[in-house]
Amino acid sequence: MTTRQIKDIAGNMRDAIIGSYEQGESLRAIAKKYFVSHTTINAWLDRWGVPRRTRPARSVKDLAGQRFGKLTVIRRDGLKYPVKWVARCDCGNVVSVYRSRLRAGIRSCGCMRGRRKATHAS
């Protein structure tokens, strides 16, 4: 093989990798095709000046005003993930709670912890 043929093959591979990346194929899938690691593909794309794909921002359902047991959600607590919400309990306490805890069934700020429900007669 001549040097020119090697450069042609490398140029074709470069164009194919860039094309796959621009069509939305994942780095891991491209790497698997060419028997290299995804970090190598990432380094090549950087070297070739290919702009990185940006992920769309995740949308978060607004829970403000909703009730979960004794908790009423007031607002979102910051912009970080995992999402936390500020909620006011019926007893007056204000707490910051993870969205996952609200969805899993948290029902109070903790004020109900010491109280027991009478489930059967004693």
Each residue's pLDDT, cut to its tens digit, for the chain (122 residues) gives 788 877 777 888 899 999 888 888 888 999 999 899 999 999 999 999 988 887 666 677 888 999 999 999 999 888 777 888 999 999 999 999 998 888 888 888 888 777 655 554 54
Is 38 inside any structural domain?
A: yes
Is 115 inside any structural domain?
A: no
**Strand boundaries in 11-103, DSSP class E:** 67-68, 71-76, 84-89, 94-98
Domain check: are 9 and 42 in the same one?
yes
Is 118 inside any structural domain?
A: no
Distance CA 99, CA 14 (A): 44
Domain tally, the chain: 2
Range of the domain at 13: 3-47
Find all residues with CB under 8 Å of 90, minimum gap 6, and list them: 70, 72, 108
**Joined tokens for residue 40:** 């190598």
Q: What's the confidence (pLDDT) of residue 96?
A: 92
Is 72 inside any structural domain?
A: yes
Q: What's the confidence (pLDDT) of residue 117?
A: 57
Q: What's the confidence (pLDDT) of residue 71?
A: 92
Q: What's the confidence (pLDDT) of residue 102?
A: 87
Distance CA 23, CA 109 (A): 48
